[in-house]
């Protein structure tokens, strides 16, 4: 029986960004395109290691690449993060309500102090 390729476990955006070094690559690419050698150096990893992470990010649509002379430049494609953004957006109401309750509590405390 053949063993499934590891890439199958990272076939969606959530699994791809679960790996800390891949998230760091995305952070580095926010400032613009970079070659794999620069990304590898910034992350303190080998070029083949960085290339593997970039391949996963490209497969899930978070990174695009283009040939520029003899090197390949990698860039962020943030459109691929839409499912993550939409999912986390579902928690926005929870945080807004929590902050509103905290704000009301602080105002109540300030009023009590002024009355004392």
**Each residue of 42-80: pLDDT tens digit?**
999 999 999 999 999 999 999 999 999 999 999 999 888
Band (pLDDT 50/70/90 cuts) for residue 1 is: very low
**Is 103 within a domain?**
yes
**Is 1 within a domain?**
no
In terms of residue numbers, what domain contains 25?
6-115
Residue 19 in this model has a pLDDT that exceeds 90: yes
CATH number of the domain at 50, please.
1.10.10.10
Q: How many domains does the chain have?
A: 1
d(CA 10, CA 43): 20
**Is 22 within a domain?**
yes
**Is 50 within a domain?**
yes
The set of residues, in sequence order, having a beta carbon less than 8 Å from that of 9 and lying 6+ positions away, is: 15
Residue 85 in this model has a pLDDT that exceeds 90: no
The residue with greater pLDDT, 92 or 61, is: 61
**Is 10 within a domain?**
yes
pLDDT above 90 coverage of the chain, percent = 55
d(CA 96, CA 41): 40
């Amino acid at each position: 029986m053949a063993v499934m390729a590891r890439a199958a476990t990272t076939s969606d955006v959530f699994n791809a960004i679960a790996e800390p070094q891949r998230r760091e690559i995305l952070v580095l690419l926010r400032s613009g395109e970079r070659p794999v050698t620069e990304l590898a150096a910034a992350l303190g990893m080998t070029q083949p290691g960085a290339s593997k992470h970039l391949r996963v990010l490209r497969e899930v649509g978070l990174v695009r690449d283009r040939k520029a002379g003899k090197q390949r430049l990698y860039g962020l494609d943030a459109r691929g993060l839409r499912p993550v953004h939409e999912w986390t957006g579902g928690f926005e109401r929870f945080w807004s309500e929590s902050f509103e309750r905290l704000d009301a509590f602080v105002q109540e405390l300030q009023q009590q102090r002024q009355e004392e």
